[in-house]
Each structure stands twice: as structure tokens, then as C-alpha cells.
Structure 1
């Protein structure tokens, strides 16, 4: 029994226990003095831990580092953390925490870094945070914070990074933020500062490197920011800014200028020319007029891998100032300008068509001319790509790494600079680092897989224990020096496998147990020995599943599945694709299980849906979806890449949809609002996919779970229907040609989308899918949820339509729309949702009506869009962080608590 175990702390013994397995790392640094244990550091990175944070954490009164990043912790942040006055690093990002931020956090005098990003934390930012005079890093992005940015934060003398993007903040932008003497990055994207202007005082931020205010509902003029001497990245896109573009010359450090999707007018000024580091200038979707400038790239010296993108699409540009003859490194986009239709110049015609999608990604694994079997890859050894000694075979440490707010929009020209930056920070030779892969994620953020190799001259092909510990401490202690170009980073995982698997980085010198500390941190109960045993079993189980998954593949009683024409992946391939199903790769969660974004060995980006272990529901849906998707193929149905059916694992591998789900876009989780034409195109594509299921699949298929989160969008916003786990085959005709018109089955589906007739009678028909799709159409037009605060979308829209107040419920994010086309679309949606099943249109009629509406819609081709699209799954495209369309949040065999109309 531990008596007052955390009462006194004197010194931090670096030799205290820190263990690692290949899924994550866990460290507890503590010392014993006079019979008391003193805890200094708690590190539980990517350990797949769940539970809540207990108030007793306030007893760790000498704790300096508390790091539980990338786990599954839930509940609230206990206010008792405010008692830990020694705390310097509070790293809670990548969990499922909720509730509000305790005001007590604002009284931690030593706090240097606060990271709560990627949780579900709500409420306002406490004014007490203005007391954190030692704070340098506030990373609070991707939560649900609301209210105004407290002016008190502007008093912080040392803050360098203020990341509050992707929240629900409102009010005005505080002009006082310009008083912060050391602020380098101001990132407030995707908030709702409705009616606010960009304060003129922001032009006085003398240290600022990056200003990102994308999609913040800002209005007014753009202030002249030419006085910010080191500004390298400016994003003011997707706002309501107006007036001309300031003519002051921006900093020579500028790499990215994003002013698209505003109401800017006037001509394109000449101050954009001669910027030596410029990579991207985006002025699309404004009201700019006059000539297309031909001087922007002049006096620039392009290296082999440097590029410049000039995006002037969808403006009022009517002429060119001179001959457009840019070098090959420069891309100009002019589509949607009068100059493309009014000019007879052949010299500009190729600038008026869609450019090929540009990738800024790397997938190595190239062959380097060494004997293919001389390096034991099955033991995690590989050839060091840049080794000074040819064919040096060694075992790397793999590091999942992400730039959270980079000051660039193209990485290729900076790759060598980045390698120097990392290796110097880790005190490694340049050849010891290989950037195995990198790609852009939504944000934009840049994600990488780094491989670190041991030195050749130590006559060993593995790192020794002290080197692994040293490198791990440099990453987890945030001691790698700051980079102006690359901005703040985050450690996603620190993967030790092969010869490093389950490495004990230091033998425990103290008798305090992992379970004891976890018991206090997680509030897991009084029986510490039992808790320790559970943790050990979980770690051993994950380790055993990886190392013995292949050898035990067919030892279970169930027969393995073989499907012709569909790739059968091994469990090991799925592990490698997802960094062992790291929390950082999870993009969805539903009743079936979790969904991960994966990178296959051939560079293909995929979505991997993994059934929860032992889930009978998951197994049934796995078999259903595998059976159906392996034999249906249509441009508007999500494609099945393969599956994994190994031991107790069942996974489905799909093409990755870079633009996420329709639900994400309708809920405002994307930076690009959907206009009417795009919404209509998505509706038409969805209807075509379902029509194929009803009329062309053999036998026909009833989907049974159509909803906005099951409609995925590829890189070109082509709609693809997903999630066939609940689908049922339609009745098959008898020999005499007769067949029932329904399938009798228990009710399954998602509340709000369920056909009332199916709900009451348990009779599933093709018109049940029509009803569900009609609800989706209503969502597309109104942005409303199917059920919200007891209100049903069908009832609400019918009421508004009959009372003549329809315009009051149309989604304002849609922008302008043709009234007649919208009215026809709304009538069709309501017909689909009629209570009388027979009165609803068939899916063929739905498609025909949508095609007619498309022909009526201005600015659309007279021919309905052919949705043929090859989705590359390009990670550089804007991607949603949620892919619930691959997961499922439906009910199963349960009568929903809703009132049918």
C-alpha cells in the first residue's frame, strides 16, 4: 500500500522507468526519498489508453511533463491540474476529452506549452489564460470552443504560436493581439467572427511569420500588411473581404498568398512580382478586372523542384498585359474569366482549361540496386538509402511526424533544408534520416513518416539502448529548436519494432508501479495490482497479435474468405499502412468499428474499416459488404480495393475519398462551402448510384442506410455511395415471374432517415431508399440535421413550404441560387419523403427529374454531368478529418425513439 506517494518531489532521476513497445511509449520518471515517491514526468504516447482523468492528478505536485497524446481518453479536464504548479508541458491532444477548459489552468506559473487540439472541448477560453506569462505555445485548434478570444491573451509576453483554428469562436478579432511582442503564428481559420474586420493594427506585428484567417466571416478591406518584415504565409481566403488589393510590397519571405473566394475588386497590382520565394498566389473567385499580369514570375530563379502557381480563376479579367510565356515551373489558371472567351489569342488557350491535379507528396521504397534478399526485411531491416557505404543494411526507428502550421505550400523545394533541420536537432548525420513519405492533410498540415538509421561507423546495424532513449527524449521533450519555415510540429508516434520491439529503455530503479501511477491519473480504482495486470495483458496482446498474426492465420474455426478479383491483404500490411492503427490515422468511428487512413506499400492512399474484435454485428456487415461490393461497380459507388480476413481481424479496404463526407460539408467542417450547382451534382451522382443498385445490379439491392455521412466525395467532388453493411438483396422472381415487392426484415437504419412505412411494417422496398435519399436532399438544401432538438426535417420543411417561408430555411452557406431550379429540387425532395409509399417517385424518376433541373440551371452544361472520375486518393487534396461514411452510426434491430410523420 502506498502512503501519500506523491507528497514530496526533490530530484528527477533520468534513469527511472521508461518502456516502449512498437505501438507507443510510456514513461514514468520518479524518485524515492525518505519513503516517498516523487513523480516528475508522465508520458503515455499513442498507447490506446481509455478512461478519464481523475482529480487525484492534482497530487502530482512536482510534475513537469504530462503527455497523454493520441489516446482515447474521455471526460473532462479536472480543475485539480491547476494545483500542479511545477507543470511545464500539458499535452492532451488527440483524445476524446470534452467539457470546458478549467479556469485553474490559467494559474500554472511554469506552463510553457498547452496542447488540447483534436478533442471535443467546448465553452469559452478562460480569461485567466492571460496570466500564463511563461506560455509559448497555445495549440487549441480542432475543438468546439466558443465565445470571443479574450483580450487578456494579448498580455502574454512570450507566446509565439496561437492556434485556434476549427472552433466556434465568435465576436470581433481583438486589435490588442498586435501587442504580443513575440507572436510568430496567428492561425484562426474556420471560426465565425461574423461582421468583424481585420484590425489595421495587425500590420504592426513585427515578428509575425504566418497569418491565417481563412473562412472566418470577415468583411471590409484588407489592411496594408507590407510593413510585416518577415511575413511568409498569408491566408485570408473564403471571407467577405471587399475593395482593392493593397499595393504595398509584401515581405520577400512570402511563399503563399491566399486571397481567393472574397469580393475583392480592382486590378491585380504589380507588387506580386519579383517575390523570390513565392510558391502560390491564389486570387480566384473574386471580382478582379483588367489585365492578367505577365510579370509575376520575372526575376525569379527557379531551382529544379521549385514551382509557382498563379490561380486567377473566376474573376473578370478581360485582357493580358503582354505575351504570357512563363517558364515550365509556373502554372497559370485563368478558367472562368472573360479573357478566355473574348480573346482569339491561341497563346492563352491552354491557361483556360483545367490543370492536371498537382501532387506534392513522396512515396519512396525505391530500389537502390542492392541484393534483394541480403537484408532481412521480415525483421524490420532495410537498406539505408543514402548510406556512404553501399548496401548498408540496418533497422530504422520510425517516427510519425506532422507540421501543424507550416509556412509553405510546397514542400519539395524545402526537403533538403528540412533534412538538415531535423538531423542537426537530433545530432545525426544526414544519411541517417530518410523521409519515407509525406503528404498534405486538411489544415493544411504536412504529415510525414521519418525513418532514422544507426551510424555505419559504430559497426552495428541497430541503435543501442542509450541512443534510442536520447532520440525519444529529444522528440517528446520538445527540445528540437524552432523553425521559422516549418513552424510547430507534433509527434504522432514513435515506432519501435523488429529488434527494438518491447525495448525497456531503462530498467526500473524504483519500486513504484505503472499501475499505481495510472491508478491516480486515470481514476481507475483501488486495486492497483489488477490494473497493472490488465495493462500488461493489453500490451502483450497487441504485441502477440502482430508477431504471430500471420502464422496463426487459419487456426481459428472459421473458414478463410476468398473473393475473386479482390485483393486479400495480410494483417501485417494493414498494420504497416496505418502505423499499427495509430490514433493519429483514425478518421472515423461507428457501430461497425473504426476507420483509418492508410498508405499501402505501392503508395495508394486508402480507407481501412476495421471491425471491432468479437463484434457479431461487425462480422455480419463485413460479409455483406464484401459480398456486395465485390460484384457491383459503378462510378457513383465507392470502390472496394480489398479486404483482410486474418485470424480475428476483419477489415475492408476502400478507395480514399479526399473530400470526406457530404455531412462534413453540410456541417461547415470544410473550408470550401458547396454552391447550388455542386450540391445538385452531388445529389444527381448519389441518385445514379442508388438507381444502379435498384435497376442494374443482379439481383437488385436495397441499400437500407442512405444518409449524408454515407455519401463520400472524391477529389473532384463526385458523389459515391458507401457503407453496404446493412444492405439487402431484393426479392428474386419465382419461376412464374412473380415476386414480392418487399423484404420482410427487422428495422435497421439511422433515425431521421428511416422510411416511416418500413419503420411501422418492417417491409423494406426500393421506396424506402427513395425516402432516405429525399431526406438527404432536404439536408443539401437547408443544411439542417434530420432530427435536431425534437424537430424532424421533413415536417419542418413541409411547414415552411406550405407557409411560403421556404427562403428562411435555405442554407445560407450555399450562396446565390436560381429560384426556379431550387423550387423544383425542393418539390422533388418532398415527393421522395411522402408518407404514402406508392406516391413517391421511383429512383429512375428521381434521376430523370434531377437531370432536367440540371439542364435548367444557369452556368451548368446543358448535358447533365457525366460523373466519370478517377479518384487518386491524393492526400494533397482537402481532406476531412472524419469519414463516418466508412463507419456507421446506425441502429440495429432497435426501434428508434422518433415519431413517424
Structure 2
């Protein structure tokens, strides 16, 4: 394609398609901030099937010249960029996008851009797969990861480029089978109607402001009476009344949940001191507290603007109050005073599975213990799917939400975005799925659920499958642009399965590893129909456990380290000891010391 470089039109920043037609021509002089595309001039057009929507990667590195691949098209619109000329910011934008999507810079090409009314910047982007001699297109897992990240606005706010709107995914050639429907941003309302709505909203907001001011003044003069009314959440029968809205109060009675005052939890945590803090997440901070009766608890305190809103707060209370299983975290109580949202749980001294899979504590997890953690977690999820009344889909199974008590018994936690499965009379499930907005954590998100918005119990199966792969490999679900399912599946298909196993696991029985890996990959099938049920998962894990030689189920008893303190102080004492090796294992059935080709976590 010929270039207009040097033409006066190229000096007009607001002209459409400047970036496409004003870049240096193929083989021409390289301009400032442009990619070196001269190598494409020597590529044979016959080596790239353009008819099938394949094309040469414009910015491919010198080590991968003439790389032909199928791009994934994305159309974005920057809503309020702080710049007036995009060309000098082309490279920073590419770095900003690829860094947050865990891609190499050459994998993104800005095909065209155009300034629109109200200072908005429309652009057409092309994402190319990583340079490879065998793969020339994204696989399903990577497509789902990228589309999920872009559609859920994973890119953090940027002062230069501002927020963005996702307008379209361009899925041609090998991606044409993927169907995505995006809601139109047009409201269809006339300007007159919009103006009326705006004026009405301003009037209502002004009235509401004065009303709130009056109410606030009245409440300040009746502070003591207000606190007494707050404590009336607890009735004489031990029930709790909660409200889902500050405007419309819908009382919910939940039996067996204790309501704590703010002062009680403040005392329990020594005024929420830093020394009592044991964790932090998107919801807020987690503290270790000691109640007046000596009970040690974990207190999850929401921070202002937390990701978990009022609805999720009440959902978790209501859900946990009626779930009782040894592999589910038990709710002790709650606090809903003085603008605070706090949940009180049984304290889990060994932290989360994510903590234990960190490099500092991996030596505590031999294969038998990892298998037991997998079995415990699966039993907890199985209870949710089959024994809870009504059944529950967790929707956010991940290593952060699997906690371990003093005896390393795994317990599933965090039910803030869980969904209840509708059940008809006679205990018959109405439908096979729930149509809902996609929620969850990238890397653990069921790809079929992401594309169809149809949530099923198999979505939890996918999440636990990712957890199994983490237990086996020590890898994170997504790291340095690598997807754990893709990496492990590729290694297995090439006969290199054992190269992915976490070296810190120590000796392990190879046949158990093979069956555990096969189960994990089966859980991570893209199609939910191909995944096993949780009942099948539990049965297979029990069968694998029976294959273990006696004495190899777990590490030596660690109860000696469970008398107080956190996982970080206690487990450090054990991390320098010799790894446990069972005497019942023959050398022919041990696989250890293999240098993995995939970087472990």
C-alpha cells in the first residue's frame, strides 16, 4: 500500500485514517515512533492466505520476520483523552494496552483512528497471536481471556487516554464462529425528552439535598436514640433484620447470626491496628480479632468504595447463615453500624491457598497434601450444588477463596457474588442455567459463561479445574501473557507433562499425577457439556487418594505449629526442614528433579 508520508494532509491531526495512510510505506523510510516494517517487503504474498483473513504482522520482531497470523479486531472509542494529536502518543498507547493485557508490544497494531465529535477518539485495533512456528491464530482460551479483559474494562484508568467504550469485536476468518452481541450505547430518546429528564433530575437532586440536610440535623440531635434503634436489628428471638436499600426497607430475618457492635470489633482488633491485619483484597482488609470470650475470629472490614456493595454484603450473610459443612467457612456474625460493613468468620490460621502456593511456603505442600486440599474444596462445592436448599453456584472459585484451618483442612469462602439456582415445586430444577451479568475473576472465568451469559454449575467446575492446575504446576492462571490451560495442555500434547509439575512438591507417584492432571484438564474444557459434574470430580479424587501408598496422604502433623500466630510466622519454622519422602514409595514410581520448561510460580 502506498504512503502519503510528506503530504500536507498528514499534518492535520483530526483527519481520518492518518495513522494508516501517513505511516512510512513498505520498505520506505522509517518515521519517528513507527515500527520497522521493511522486513515485510521481502515476504512472499503467497505465504500468507489473505483470503482467510490472515496477514503479515506489521510490527513483528526481526527474529520472526514474515510471521503470518489471523488478527483479532477490536474497535474502541476513547471518551475523553487529554490530547489533541494522537500520533506522538501511538507508542505509549500500545505499551499501555499490551502491558495491561499481558501481551508483547508487537502483538498490537493500530490499524486506523479517527477523531469524532465531543473530542472522542475512535480507533480500530488489531491483536496478533504471539510469534510461533506452529500457531498462527489465537486459541479459544486466549480469545476468551482477551475479550473478557477488554469487555470488563480491565485496563486501568490512564490520565492521558481516559476511559474507553468497547464498540465491537471484529471476528473474521478462523474466529467467525464466535458470536458476541454488545448492547447499543444509543438510548433512542429525543433531545427534548433527555432535556426534560435532566431538568427533572436536577430538581429532584436539589430537593433531596435539602431533605437530607434536614434529616442529618435531626439525627445529630438524636444520636443516642439513633444508636438504640440500630441495635433493634437484633430481636428478642435472636433474629437479624437487614435492609437492602436506604429508601425502601425490606426486613430479612436470619436465624443464628450474631450482630456485633462497632465497639466490640474495635476492641477485638485493638482499634483495627496494623499488627492485627492479616490480609487485604478488593473488598477491604481482614483482621485477626479476639472476642471477649476468647474466641479467635477473622473480621473482614469493607473499605470505602469497596468492590462488594450492600447487596453482596447481605447476600453473603444470608447464604452463609444456612450453610453448614466442614469444607465451607463458617460465619460467626456481622456488624452494620456507623456506616461500616463487617463480616466475622472463624479464623483460618493457615491463610489462603494462594498464600501457601507462594514461593515462601511451597515446601509445606507435598502431593498428598495438595490432593487432600483439592478433595476438601471439591466436597465443599459439591455440597453447594447438591445438598444446599436451594442449590447455590459459587461463581468465584479461586485459590484466594480457599482457606485452610490449623489442620490444613480446606474451606471454600467468599459468597458475595454467589447465585441461587431456582427450584420448582417438587425439588426439580426449572432450567439448566441462570441468565445473568458476567461476574468472576479473569483466569478462573468459565469461557462459555462469558460468551453466553448463561451460568451453570459447570462454571464452578471450570474454576476448580484451574485451582487443580495451580496445585499441580505452581503457576498462576495468567502470568506474563501465558494462560495456564494453554501452557499445560500444550505440554501434555507434546509428551512433556511432567516438565510442568511444581518442583517444590517433592517426590510424587506418577500414575496419581497423570490421573489428577487428566481430571484438571477435563474440568477446564471450553464447552460445559464436556466437563464432569462435581460429584464425578469428588469420586475421581477419592479414587486417586486410594492409590496413594500409606503414610503419603499428607505431610507430618503440623499441629505443633498451630498454637497461635499467622501462617507467615508459623510456616517459616517448617519451610527449612527436609521434604517428606515416604518409605513405601518405590523409586520407579517417583518423578522428581525434572527441570520444568514453564516458569513455576
Scaled by the length of structure 2, the TM-score of the pair is 0.52
Residue 5 of structure 2: aligned partner: none
8 Å contact from structure 2 (residues 370, 471) kept in 1: yes
Residue 385 of structure 2: aligned partner: 694
Residue-by-residue CA offset, 1:16-37 (whole Å, 9 max, x unaligned): xxxxxxxxxxxxxxxxxxxxxx
Q: 1:870 to 1:551 in 2, by over 3 A?
A: farther
Q: Is the aligned partner of 1:584 residue 2:275?
A: yes
Shift of 1:668: 2.1
Q: 1:874 to 1:604 in 2, by over 3 A?
A: farther
8 Å contact from structure 2 (residues 298, 345) kept in 1: yes
Q: Is the aligned partner of 1:739 residue 2:433?
A: no
Q: Is the aligned partner of 1:767 residue 2:458?
A: yes
Once residues 618 and 881 of structure 1 are traced to their aligned partners in structure 2, the CA distance between those partners, rounded to angstroms, is: 34
Residue 323 of structure 1: aligned partner: none
CA-based RMSD: 3.1
The structure 1 residue matched to 2:285, chosen from 576, 590, 594, is 594
Once residues 562 and 419 of structure 2 are traced to their aligned partners in structure 1, the CA distance between those partners, rounded to angstroms, is: 29
Residue 875 of structure 1: aligned partner: 564
Once residues 318 and 565 of structure 2 are traced to their aligned partners in structure 1, the CA distance between those partners, rounded to angstroms, is: 32
Partner-residue secondary structure (3-state), 2:540: helix
8 Å contact from structure 2 (residues 509, 548) kept in 1: yes
Residue 816 of structure 1: aligned partner: 507
Residue 340 of structure 2: aligned partner: 649
Q: Is the aligned partner of 1:844 residue 2:521?
A: no
Residue-by-residue CA offset, 1:361-396 (whole Å, 9 max, x unaligned): xxxxxxxxxxxxxxxxxxxxxxxxxxxxxxxxxxxx
Once residues 792 and 636 of structure 1 are traced to their aligned partners in structure 2, the CA distance between those partners, rounded to angstroms, is: 28
Once residues 392 and 510 of structure 2 are traced to their aligned partners in structure 1, the CA distance between those partners, rounded to angstroms, is: 35
Residue 799 of structure 1: aligned partner: 490
Once residues 591 and 876 of structure 1 are traced to their aligned partners in structure 2, the CA distance between those partners, rounded to angstroms, is: 24
8 Å contact from structure 1 (residues 611, 650) kept in 2: yes
8 Å contact from structure 2 (residues 351, 405) kept in 1: yes
Once residues 553 and 598 of structure 1 are traced to their aligned partners in structure 2, the CA distance between those partners, rounded to angstroms, is: 23
Q: Is the aligned partner of 1:570 residue 2:261?
A: yes
Once residues 642 and 736 of structure 1 are traced to their aligned partners in structure 2, the CA distance between those partners, rounded to angstroms, is: 30
Residue 185 of structure 2: aligned partner: none
Structural mapping, 1:483-522, within 5 Å: none
- 1 or 2, which has the higher helix percentage? 2
Once residues 713 and 810 of structure 1 are traced to their aligned partners in structure 2, the CA distance between those partners, rounded to angstroms, is: 22
Structural mapping, 1:394-793, within 5 Å: 550=227, 553=230, 563-613=254-304, 615=306, 617-670=308-361, 672-733=363-424, 737=428, 739-793=430-484
8 Å contact from structure 1 (residues 549, 571) kept in 2: no
Q: 1:805 to 1:737 in 2, by over 3 A?
A: closer
8 Å contact from structure 2 (residues 402, 413) kept in 1: yes
Residue-by-residue CA offset, 1:30-77 (whole Å, 9 max, x unaligned): xxxxxxxxxxxxxxxxxxxxxxxxxxxxxxxxxxxxxxxxxxxxxxxx
- 1 or 2, which has the higher strand percentage? 1
Shift of 1:837: 0.8
8 Å contact from structure 1 (residues 854, 860) kept in 2: no
Partner-residue secondary structure (3-state), 1:704: coil
Partner-residue secondary structure (3-state), 1:660: coil
Partner-residue secondary structure (3-state), 2:458: helix
8 Å contact from structure 2 (residues 262, 335) kept in 1: yes
Partner-residue secondary structure (3-state), 1:858: coil
Structural mapping, 1:112-511, within 5 Å: none
8 Å contact from structure 2 (residues 561, 570) kept in 1: no
Q: 1:736 to 1:772 in 2, by over 3 A?
A: closer
Once residues 609 and 687 of structure 1 are traced to their aligned partners in structure 2, the CA distance between those partners, rounded to angstroms, is: 24
Residue-by-residue CA offset, 1:331-361 (whole Å, 9 max, x unaligned): xxxxxxxxxxxxxxxxxxxxxxxxxxxxxxx
8 Å contact from structure 1 (residues 613, 648) kept in 2: no
8 Å contact from structure 1 (residues 657, 871) kept in 2: no
Residue-by-residue CA offset, 1:720-761 (whole Å, 9 max, x unaligned): 000000100012125794611111111111000000000111
Once residues 608 and 663 of structure 1 are traced to their aligned partners in structure 2, the CA distance between those partners, rounded to angstroms, is: 19
Residue-by-residue CA offset, 1:569-623 (whole Å, 9 max, x unaligned): 1111010011121222222222222211111111111111112246583312110
8 Å contact from structure 2 (residues 362, 504) kept in 1: no
Q: 1:549 to 1:667 in 2, by over 3 A?
A: farther
Partner-residue secondary structure (3-state), 2:377: helix
